[in-house]
Structure 1
Amino acid sequence: MGARDRLIASAVDLLGSNGVAGTGIAQLLDRSGISRRSVYLNFPGGKSELVAEATRAAGATYSALLRSLAAGADIATCVAAYPAIWRDKLAASEFTAGCPVVAAALGRAEAPEAADAAGAIFTEWEAILTERLVAEQVEPDLALSLATTVIAALEGAVVMSLATGSMDPLERVGAQMSDLIARHTAAASAVG
């Protein structure tokens, strides 16, 4: 892995655990093992540019995972699988590492380009879920509304699990969102 990729990977990890404000150049250098000079050679815009790239990289990884999950099962099953994705990450970090995309969204004051990237990523996730819901015969406007609700609820549940040090919010929300989607897809199938 080259210097640029190591810096991005380090920034993704640090964003998830420290947020934008807590992700400094010193921590990035320490985590990545890269020289200060390499940071500015690869990211002339400094920390702000690196954080934006890290946000896009994390978003692309999660988007690919979401596409993979959505392609392999009905959408209710896909949504039900979401807590399992976060269960290991939360436990391994002892409830200190959350979603780097959420961290970027919350860091607008320090890294507006990263917050904009986070907004684009959330929109992409909505589109992935909306497309899959429409494929299961849910009306497009309702599908978009459901996709927004699911993403907001599940991302919020990760934040609540971090705050409480418990998987319970994530498990409860995952079950409720899966049930919500199953009811809507079943109703759409009955009509269609």
Structure 2
Amino acid sequence: MATDARRRLVESTIELVRRRGVAGTGVADLLEHSGTARQSIYKHFPGGKTELIEESVRTAGAWIEQMIEQMAETLSAPEMLHAFVEYWKQVLVSSDYQSGCPIAAAAYGGSEAPGARELARKAFRGWEQRLAEKVIAQGVPARTAESLATTTIAAIEGAVMMSIADRNIAPLNRTYAQLRELLQIHLAAA
């Protein structure tokens, strides 16, 4: 039961940070959304909201990295790119353009939760590494693969934000088209 309250708090924090950012996510909102009692936060997260935010960033970052790793096991680099973009389209549309990336939100909310910013940095680096490894395995030189991975993550994160602002997946679609073309050029050269 105690772990259930902890899990609900973490999941609620991820969802609210995706929608409202770190600063816009208050303790009262977390309690209401998770259906947990106030003492649950301090029982499971003695550091309060800051510790809860950090654990949520750690959890969300690991979950997305695991998703990328699973894609890498069975998909080519172009297929991974497509699947990753489709994942974000589903997030955007199913949330009525309210939910973005919890890792990006944590990076922006660094002044409220400095540890979350560091965890966001680690998550982004982990994603980049997984993507770069996949492209390297397809013959692209390491330096180029690392640059492609950074460009891919940065472009998709930006396109997700633009899609939220536009309330339309068109920015994500245009970004995907350019990333796909860029990836194909480098894979063909390899």
User: Normalising by structure 1, what TM-score?
Assistant: 0.95
Aligned residue in 2 for 1:115:
117
User: In the TM superposition, what is the alpha-carbon distance from 1:90 to its structure 2 partner?
Assistant: 1.0
Aligned residue in 1 for 2:157:
155
* CA distances 1:50-77 after superposition (whole Å, capped 9, x unpaired): 0010011111111111111122121012
Aligned residue in 1 for 2:148:
146
Matching of residues 1-192 of structure 1 within 5 Å: 2-188=4-190
Q: Secondary structure of the residue that 2:129 maps to in structure 1?
A: helix
Q: Secondary structure of the residue that 2:7 maps to in structure 1?
A: helix
Give the residue type in structure 1 aligned to 2:109.
G
Give the residue type in structure 1 aligned to 2:161.
V
Distance 2:74 2:178 in 1: 21
Give the residue type in structure 1 aligned to 2:60.
A
Give the residue type in structure 2 aligned to 1:144.
E
Give the residue type in structure 1 aligned to 2:145.
A
Pairwise CA RMSD of aligned residues? 1.0
Give the residue type in structure 2 aligned to 1:9.
E
Distance 2:85 2:165 in 1: 16
How many corresponding residue pairs? 188
User: Normalising by structure 2, what TM-score?
Assistant: 0.96
* CA distances 1:133-162 after superposition (whole Å, capped 9, x unpaired): 110111111111110001000111001100
158-167 or 1-10: bigger deviation: 1-10
Distance 1:176 1:71 in 2: 24
Contact 1:76–1:179 at 8 Å: present in 2 too? no
Give the residue type in structure 1 aligned to 2:138.
E
Q: Secondary structure of the residue that 1:2 maps to in structure 2?
A: helix
User: In the TM superposition, what is the alpha-carbon distance from 1:83 to its structure 2 partner?
Assistant: 2.2
Distance 1:58 1:5 in 2: 12
Gaps of 5+ in 1: none
Contact 1:80–1:175 at 8 Å: present in 2 too? no
